[in-house]
């Protein structure tokens, strides 16, 4: 799964193309699924999978996401749930189009399965360290006052995660895969 900075960039680019999405709720929704990582760095699988409606099979995951949206679309502000769905769709696309290819390259270079995620994360952080999007999201959510309970995420956790994420800075560490 991509780091939050990648989700932020996707959100900004979508909102640039669809002005109706340029709202605090949309940006908050794009951060929300990763709130489960708040107290862990990287949460246990069962927490991540619940928050992301994750399924082992990517096609099953897409269908579970569609069902989730149909069920929840009237329970939240429209742009919040669209942001939430955007985050998860970004994860699906990342897994389908990118993750397996990169991890295969790392495994072929005799990098352990456990280390592949860490190396990929470092590469994404390098990319994010040069990103202009972090400050845009920080500005958009600077005085956000409405947060939501969703799935296994509480309103308070989402508030804390958002603040912590907006204060995160990345440092560059060399890596060759991304």
Q: How far apart are CA 17 and CA 20, in angstroms?
A: 9
Evaluate if residue 133 carries a pLDDT over 80.
no
Instruction: Name the pLDDT band for 166 (thresholds 50, 70, 90).
Output: confident
Quick one: pLDDT at residue 169? 63
In sequence order, the 6+-apart residues with CB closer than 8 A to the CB of 92 are 58, 61, 62, 65
Q: What's phi and psi for 104, nearest 5 deg?
A: -60, -45
Instruction: Name the pLDDT band for 42 (thresholds 50, 70, 90).
Output: confident
Q: What's phi and psi for 62, nearest 5 deg?
A: -60, -45
Question: How many C-beta neighbours within 10 Å does residue 4 have?
Answer: 24
Tell me the pLDDT tens digit for each residue of 71-121: 999 999 999 999 999 999 999 999 888 888 888 889 999 999 888 888 888
CA angle 83-87-93, nearest 5°?
135
CA 111 from chain center: how many Å?
25
Q: Which residue has the higher pLDDT, 118 or 46?
A: 46
Q: How far apart are CA 160 and CA 166, in angstroms?
A: 10
For residues 28 and 137, is the Cβ–Cβ distance under 8 A?
Answer: no
DSSP code of residue 136: H
């Amino acid at each position: 799964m991509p780091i939050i900075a990648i989700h932020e960039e996707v959100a900004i680019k979508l909102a640039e193309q669809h002005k109706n999405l340029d709202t605090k709720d949309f940006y908050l929704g794009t951060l929300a699924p990763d709130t489960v990582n708040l107290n862990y760095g990287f949460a246990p699988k069962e927490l991540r999978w619940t928050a992301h409606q994750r399924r082992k099979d990517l096609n099953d995951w897409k269908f579970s996401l569609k069902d989730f949206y149909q069920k929840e679309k009237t329970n939240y502000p429209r742009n919040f749930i669209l942001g939430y769905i955007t985050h998860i769709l970004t994860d699906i696309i990342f897994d389908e189009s990118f993750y397996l290819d990169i991890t295969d390259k790392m495994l072929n270079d005799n990098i352990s399965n456990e280390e592949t995620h860490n190396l990929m994360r470092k590469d994404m952080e390098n990319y994010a360290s040069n990103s202009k999007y972090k400050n845009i999201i920080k500005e958009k959510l600077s005085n956000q006052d409405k947060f939501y309970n969703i799935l296994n995420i509480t309103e308070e956790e989402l508030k804390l995660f958002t603040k912590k994420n907006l204060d995160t800075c990345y440092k560059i560490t060399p890596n060759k895969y991304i």
